[in-house]
């Protein structure tokens, strides 16, 4: 007979060998006895009762162990089953059919292995059984057992007093799964994580990300404590007030393996690692974020171009300075510095050079200050200097002078020598305000004054500037409205030929009848219109109205229209004039355009080109207010003017002042030499007319002849009066 394979034979043999224990040993005992005597019967009854009692307590014990949540098994000294509870049978459900009192655990295991109930034993059955039996008969540590259905059982076995074995079984499948997913989460997490012991802070485990991040090997790590990674001696985040505060992040500085100092946000959580109390630390490298945050903060507080503090930071610095000086009873001077005509640099040399100029200015300003002063760029061409430790206004004056001097030196930028002036407004604490905002505002008001007075100087804040600034803002809003509703209109003032007394033309002068303030002088609102850009609308309106009106006048009467330099910047002046002439039907030769010297200051080739183009149309170009501005004779050479208007300030002094006479005389002879018409402005008296006529001046304009009048009056005036011969001009005065 062929020998059967071991694996299949064994269980069979086992089953055959199962003798089982006599279920009722007491009954067997009585069956083997001889017929009982009375004494024997009593004894037998006693034994029966004792047995019944024993069975009862056995039942109780069984009931008790059955309600336990753990599996429990009692084995005798040979490792044979005595008793086991329901949970135990459930846990080993695949083998429970084999459990019987007296059956050896080893045998049930062998059958189980044969059925594949113990996956860990496959391929090394005998070895596994030997190890298992060793643990059974010399119990020590707990151990785990994996079953075929994937469950994991924790086995805890002890020897009992009679040499038997009591075994506990706990299903730790879920725990194991949790542990496995924790491991997975830990090992493969992209966030560097470290487990460190709570007591001595030794590093117990690190994940791959931590190894990569710090550059230490796993072995090196395990020799470290968490404090070795820490740059500064601070309480670890899980200790002290943060104990148990699991989700809170803690900022830490760490030294990375490559020596770099990095910022960390640490998330900590206490856990038991193995059997040690430990903390799991998730270490988020925030170095980049911190750096980006710092950059953002810097950008929010500094000017990108010059790197100087901006208005926000300046205000903070000022608050500090003001607080400090208040304690020391010192004064603080706030100097707001505005560059003069910075826009012209940008427009003519380009923004690249404009930027370089601003950086150059910032550098010079910076070099003028002491540590305890502050400097900021407020907006495109405005800077602020906060001068502390001031005792008298003179300290601020000398600072302002030094700043103006420093700025005035030429800047060499990309081969261009650029000169820029500046004006300064000064406000002082505590007299002009004791808080940053107010001081800055007042210094700004003083700056507007400095700019209006004459650029290149400084001006101190004075009470009342604020009210003036408010009035100026009101003019601005009202003017916008007036332009919008067409409330502005031209008035016309005659230009009279002094030899013949004939009216050669009229100058259109803008008038603004204000609903509350009555007639507002152009001297007041034209500068506002220029600052706000409204001048283009005003200028366009005046040109159209003047040409339309003049087209109705006699053919030999001209109209003169004033142009602001700003109208040349827009670039469409030429086409505006062409269109207006076309639409109004006014011949070009009857239009005169008055410009002032400031237009020629910039010596822009575009301006000259526009002037030449206008003149080529047949339009006449006049130089207005001659003698007041820079009065460079080169201006007269740079463009062939048709007319020069002598400013009224010279005419006023003409009779009494020989100097004024000399100047007027030379302007007249200059004009004659150049073949240019000379007109005297502001003629108010017969004496002036006579004097001008004697000098050979061609034309006069002034109150002596007439004030500016609305068009309706001009038409009737021209009809009834025709021409005027001196001294009939006086009749014109309203
Ligand atoms: P302007 O172009 O030199 O005009 C002459 C100014 O002198 C006018 O002042 C006129 O009313 C005034 N005037 C004329 N004769 C006499 C006189 O005998 N005595 C005195 N004291 N003054 C006299 P107005 O109309 O107040 O204009 C002031 C300035 O406003 C003008 O000076 C001109 O520069 C500007 N302006 C006026 N209208 C316009 C305009 O439509 N556009 C531009 N861009 N500027 C204008
Ligand atoms: Mg004029
Ligand atoms: Mg004038």
Q: What is the pLDDT of residue 586?
A: 97
pLDDT digits (tens, 9 = 90+) for 18-59: 333 434 444 444 445 555 578 888 999 999 999 999 999 989
Is 640's pLDDT higher than 80? yes
pLDDT band at 249 (very low <50, low <70, confident <90, very high): low
Whether residue 31 is contained in a domain is answered as no
Q: DSSP readout, 185-223?
A: HHHT-SS-EEEEETTT-BEEEE-HHHHHHH---HHHHHT
Q: Which atom of ligand 1 is nearest to the CA of 509?
A: 38
Question: Which residue's alpha carbon is at the smallest distance from atom 8 of ligand 1?
Answer: 509
Q: How far is the CA of 469 from the centre of ligand 3 (A)?
A: 27
d(CA 509, CA 531): 19
d(CA 492, CA 562): 12
Instruction: Give the domain CATH number at 483.
Output: 3.20.20.450
Whether residue 696 is contained in a domain is answered as yes
In sequence order, the 6+-apart residues with CB closer than 8 A to the CB of 344 are 602
Closest ligand to the CA of 647 = 3
Neighbouring C-alpha atoms within 13 Å toward the C-beta of 415: 0
Q: Which two tokens stand for residue 184?
A: 């997975």
Closest ligand to the CA of 535 = 1
Is 488's pLDDT higher than 80? yes
Question: What angle is formed at CA 160 by the lines to CA 156 and CA 161, rounded to 5 degrees?
Answer: 160
Whether residue 617 sits in one domain with residue 568 = yes
Q: What is the pLDDT of residue 359?
A: 96
Mutation pick for ligand 1 pocket among 681, 700, 709, 710 (CB with most ligand atoms within 8 Å): 681
Judge whether 674 and 728 are in contact, CB under 8 Å.
Answer: no
Judge whether 171 and 91 are in contact, CB under 8 Å.
Answer: yes
Q: How far is the CA of 346 from the centre of ligand 2 (A)?
A: 29
pLDDT digits (tens, 9 = 90+) for 396-413: 999 999 999 999 999 999
Give the end of a domain, one of 227, 262, 291.
291
Q: Within 6 Å (CB) of ligand 1, which residues are found? A: 493, 509-510, 521-523, 526, 539, 542, 562-564, 594, 624-625, 648, 681-684, 701-703, 708
Number of domains in the chain: 4
Give buried/exposed letters for 201-228 (b at 16+ CB in 10 A, else e). bbbbbbbebbbebbebeeeebeebebee
pLDDT digits (tens, 9 = 90+) for 545-603: 999 999 999 999 999 999 999 899 887 999 999 999 999 999 999 999 999 988 887 66
Q: DSSP readout, 274-331?
A: TTEEEEEEEEEE-HHHHHHHHHHHHHHHB-TTT--B-HHHHHHHHHHHHHHHHHHT-E
Q: How far is the CA of 731 from the centre of ligand 2 (A)?
A: 23
Question: Which residue's alpha carbon is at the smallest distance from atom 13 of ligand 1?
Answer: 682
Whether residue 547 sits in one domain with residue 488 = yes
Q: How far is the CA of 468 from the centre of ligand 2 (A)?
A: 27
**Cα dist. 720→24, 613, 715 in Å?**
156, 37, 9
Is 649's pLDDT higher than 60? yes
Whether residue 457 sits in one domain with residue 315 = yes
Tell me the β-bridge partners of 492. 508, 709
Whether residue 550 sits in one domain with residue 432 = no
Is 245's pLDDT higher than 60? no
Whether residue 466 is contained in a domain is answered as no
pLDDT band at 263 (very low <50, low <70, confident <90, very high): confident
Whether residue 448 sits in one domain with residue 558 = no
Is 75's pLDDT higher than 60? yes
Whether residue 420 sits in one domain with residue 343 = yes
Question: Which residue's alpha carbon is at the smallest distance from atom 22 of ligand 1?
Answer: 682
d(CA 86, CA 65): 8
Q: How far is the CA of 553 from the centre of ligand 2 (A)?
A: 20
Question: What angle is formed at CA 506 by the lines to CA 482 and CA 617, rounded to 5 degrees?
Answer: 90
Q: Classify burial at 358, counting beta carbons within 10 Å of its beta carbon; exposed 0-12, middle 13-18, buried 19 or more.
A: buried
Q: How far is the CA of 509 from the centre of ligand 1 (A)?
A: 6
Q: Which atom of ligand 1 is nearest to the CA of 564?
A: 44
Q: Which atom of ligand 1 is nearest to the CA of 708?
A: 11
Question: Given its phi and psi angles, is residue 369 left (phi above 0), alpha (psi -120 to 50 degrees) or beta?
Answer: beta
Q: What is the pLDDT of residue 17?
A: 31
Q: What is the pLDDT of residue 269?
A: 82
Whether residue 17 is contained in a domain is answered as no
Whether residue 434 is contained in a domain is answered as yes
Is 268's pLDDT higher than 90? no
Whether residue 593 is contained in a domain is answered as yes
Q: How far is the CA of 487 from the centre of ligand 2 (A)?
A: 21
d(CA 648, CA 671): 17
Angle, helices 573-584/605-617, rounded to nearest 10 degrees: 20
Mean pLDDT of the chain: 86
Q: What is the pLDDT of residue 381?
A: 93
Q: How far is the CA of 397 from the centre of ligand 2 (A)?
A: 38
Q: What is the pLDDT of residue 732?
A: 45
Neighbouring C-alpha atoms within 13 Å toward the C-beta of 384: 31
Question: What angle is formed at CA 359 by the lines to CA 353 and CA 362, rounded to 5 degrees?
Answer: 140
Tell me the β-bridge partners of 494. 506
Closest ligand to the CA of 490 = 1
Kindly list the protein residues that place their beta carbon closer than 5 angstroms to ligand 3, a single-atom ion.
Answer: 624-625, 681
d(CA 206, CA 239): 20
Q: Classify burial at 371, counting beta carbons within 10 Å of its beta carbon; exposed 0-12, middle 13-18, buried 19 or more.
A: exposed
Whether residue 398 sits in one domain with residue 368 = yes
DSSP code, position 5: P
Percentage of the chain surpassing pLDDT 90? Answer: 52
Whether residue 239 is contained in a domain is answered as yes
Whether residue 498 sits in one domain with residue 406 = no
Instruction: Give the domain CATH number at 150.
Output: 3.30.450.20
Give the end of a domain, one of 149, 171, 193.
171
Q: What is the pLDDT of residue 591?
A: 98
d(CA 173, CA 175): 5
Helices and strands (DSSP H and E) totals, the chain: 28, 26
* More confident position, 139 or 232: 139
Closest ligand to the CA of 526 = 1
Q: Classify burial at 654, counting beta carbons within 10 Å of its beta carbon; exposed 0-12, middle 13-18, buried 19 or more.
A: buried
Give the end of a domain, one of 113, 141, 171.
171
Q: What is the pLDDT of residue 4?
A: 42
Tell me the β-bridge partners of 518. 514
Kindly list the protein residues that place their beta carbon closer than 5 angstroms to ligand 2, a single-atom ion.
Answer: 562, 594, 624
d(CA 69, CA 169): 9
Q: How far is the CA of 624 from the centre of ligand 3 (A)?
A: 5
* More confident position, 185 or 731: 185
pLDDT band at 207 (very low <50, low <70, confident <90, very high): very high
Q: How far is the CA of 632 from the centre of ligand 3 (A)?
A: 17
Q: What is the mean pLDDT of residues 626-641?
A: 78
Whether residue 479 sits in one domain with residue 394 = no
pLDDT band at 731 (very low <50, low <70, confident <90, very high): very low
pLDDT digits (tens, 9 = 90+) for 696-725: 999 999 999 999 999 999 987 787 655 444
- Length of the chain, please? 734
Q: What is the pLDDT of residue 601?
A: 73
pLDDT digits (tens, 9 = 90+) for 277-308: 888 888 887 888 888 888 888 999 999 999 99
pLDDT band at 16 (very low <50, low <70, confident <90, very high): very low
Judge whether 450 and 457 are in contact, CB under 8 Å.
Answer: yes
- pTM score, two decimals? 0.52
Mapped onto helix, strand or coil, the DSSP state of residue 160 is coil
Question: Which residue's alpha carbon is at the smallest distance from atom 17 of ligand 1?
Answer: 682
Range of the domain at 238: 176-291
Q: Which atom of ligand 1 is nearest to the CA of 535?
A: 44
Closest ligand to the CA of 522 = 1
Q: What is the pLDDT of residue 495?
A: 96
Whether residue 364 sits in one domain with residue 254 = no
DSSP code, position 244: T
Judge whether 336 and 433 are in contact, CB under 8 Å.
Answer: no
pLDDT band at 272 (very low <50, low <70, confident <90, very high): confident
Instruction: Give the domain CATH number at 371.
Output: 3.30.70.270
Q: What is the pLDDT of residue 630?
A: 64
Give buried/exposed letters for 157-171 (b at 16+ CB in 10 A, else e). beeeeeebbbbbbbb
Mapped onto helix, strand or coil, the DSSP state of residue 413 is strand
Q: DSSP readout, 331-361?
A: EEEEEEEEEETHHHHHHHH-HHHHHHHHHHH
Q: What is the mean pLDDT of residues 426-454?
A: 90
Closest ligand to the CA of 563 = 1
| Structural Rg of the chain based on CA atoms | 54
Q: Which atom of ligand 1 is nearest to the CA of 683?
A: 18
Closest ligand to the CA of 564 = 1
Question: Which residue's alpha carbon is at the smallest distance from atom 33 of ligand 1?
Answer: 562
Dihedral angle over CA of 375, 378, 380, 381, nearest 10: -60
Whether residue 486 sits in one domain with residue 401 = no
Q: What is the mean pLDDT of residues 489-509?
A: 94
Q: What is the pLDDT of residue 629?
A: 67
Mutation pick for ligand 1 pocket among 522, 536, 539, 699 (CB with most ligand atoms within 8 Å): 522
Question: Which residue's alpha carbon is at the smallest distance from atom 46 of ligand 1?
Answer: 562
**Among 4-8, 214-218, 433-437, 524-528, whose mean pLDDT is lowest?**
4-8
Whether residue 113 sits in one domain with residue 241 = no
Whether residue 589 is contained in a domain is answered as yes
């Amino acid at each position: 007979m062929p020998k059967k394979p071991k694996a299949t034979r064994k269980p069979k043999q086992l089953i055959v060998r199962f003798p089982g224990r006599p279920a009722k040993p007491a009954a067997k005992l009585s069956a083997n006895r001889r017929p009982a005597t009375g004494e024997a019967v009593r004894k037998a009854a006693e034994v029966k009762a004792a047995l019944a009692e024993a069975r009862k307590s056995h039942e109780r014990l069984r009931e008790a162990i059955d309600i336990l949540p753990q599996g429990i098994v009692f084995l005798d000294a040979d490792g044979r089953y005595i008793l086991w509870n329901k949970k135990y049978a459930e846990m080993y459900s695949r083998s429970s059919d084999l459990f019987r009192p007296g059956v050896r655990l080893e045998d049930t295991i062998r059958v189980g292995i044969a059925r594949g109930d113990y996956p860990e034993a496959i391929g090394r059955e005998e070895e596994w059984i030997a190890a298992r039996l060793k643990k059974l008969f010399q119990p020590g540590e707990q151990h785990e057992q994996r079953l075929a259905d994937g469950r994991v059982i924790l086995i805890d076995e002890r020897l009992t007093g009679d040499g038997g074995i009591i075994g506990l079984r706990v299903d730790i499948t879920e725990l194991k799964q949790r542990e496995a997913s924790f491991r997975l989460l830990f090992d493969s997490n992209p966030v560097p994580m470290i487990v460190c012991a709570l007591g001595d802070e030794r590093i117990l485990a690190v994940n791959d990300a931590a190894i990569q991040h710090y550059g230490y090997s796993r072995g090196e790590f395990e020799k470290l404590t968490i404090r070795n990674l820490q740059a500064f001696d601070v309480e670890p985040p899980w200790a002290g007030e943060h104990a148990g505060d699991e989700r809170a992040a803690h900022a830490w500085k760490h030294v990375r393996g490559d020596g770099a100092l990095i910022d960390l946000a640490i998330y900590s959580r206490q856990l038991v690692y193995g059997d040690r109390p430990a903390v799991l630390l998730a270490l988020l490298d925030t170095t980049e974020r911190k750096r980006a945050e710092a950059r953002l903060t810097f950008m929010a507080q500094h000017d990108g171009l010059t790197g100087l503090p901006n208005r926000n930071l300046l205000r903070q610095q000022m608050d500090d300075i003001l607080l400090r000086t208040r304690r020391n009873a010192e004064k603080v001077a706030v100097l707001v510095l505005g560059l003069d005509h910075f826009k012209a640099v940008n427009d003519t040399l380009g923004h690249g050079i404009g930027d370089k100029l601003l950086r150059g200015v910032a550098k010079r300003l910076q070099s003028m200050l002491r540590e305890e002063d502050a400097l900021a760029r407020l907006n495109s061409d405005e800077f602020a200097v906060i001068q502390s430790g001031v005792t008298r206004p003179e300290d601020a004056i000398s600072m302002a002078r030094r700043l103006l001097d420093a700025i005035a030196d030429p800047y060499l930028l990309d081969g261009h020598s650029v000169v820029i002036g500046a004006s300064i407004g000064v406000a002082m604490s505590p007299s002009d305000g004791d808080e940053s905002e107010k001081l800055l505002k007042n210094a700004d008001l003083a700056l507007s004054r400095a700019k209006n007075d004459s650029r290149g100087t400084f001006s101190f804040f004075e009470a009342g500037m604020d009210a003036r600034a408010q009035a100026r803002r009101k003019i601005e809003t009202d003017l916008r409205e007036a332009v919008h509703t067409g409330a502005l209109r031209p008035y016309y003032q005659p230009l009279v030929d002094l030899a013949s007394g004939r009216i050669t033309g009229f100058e259109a002068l803008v008038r603004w009848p204000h609903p509350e303030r009555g007639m507002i002088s152009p001297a007041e609102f034209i500068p506002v219109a220029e600052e706000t850009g409204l001048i283009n609308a005003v200028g366009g309106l005046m040109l159209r109205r003047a040409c339309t009106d003049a087209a109705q006048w006699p053919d030999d009467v001209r109209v003169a229209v004033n142009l602001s330099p700003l109208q040349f910047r827009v670039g469409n002046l030429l086409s505006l004039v062409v269109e207006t002439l076309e639409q109004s039907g006014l011949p070009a030769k009857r239009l005169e355009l008055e410009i002032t010297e400031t237009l020629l200051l910039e010596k822009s080739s575009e301006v000259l080109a526009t002037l030449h183009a206008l003149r080529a149309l047949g339009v006449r170009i006049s130089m207005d207010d001659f003698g007041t501005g820079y009065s460079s004779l080169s201006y007269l050479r740079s463009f062939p003017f048709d007319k020069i208007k002598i400013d009224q300030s010279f005419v006023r002094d003409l009779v009494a002042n020989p100097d004024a006479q000399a100047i007027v005389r030379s302007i007249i002879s200059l004009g004659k030499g150049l073949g240019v018409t000379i007109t005297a402005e502001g003629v108010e008296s017969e004496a002036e007319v006579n004097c001008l006529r004697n000098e050979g001046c061609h034309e006069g304009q002034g109150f002596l002849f007439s004030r500016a009048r609305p068009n309706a009056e001009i038409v009737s005036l021209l009809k009834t009066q025709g021409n005027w011969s001196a001294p009939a001009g006086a009749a014109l005065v309203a």
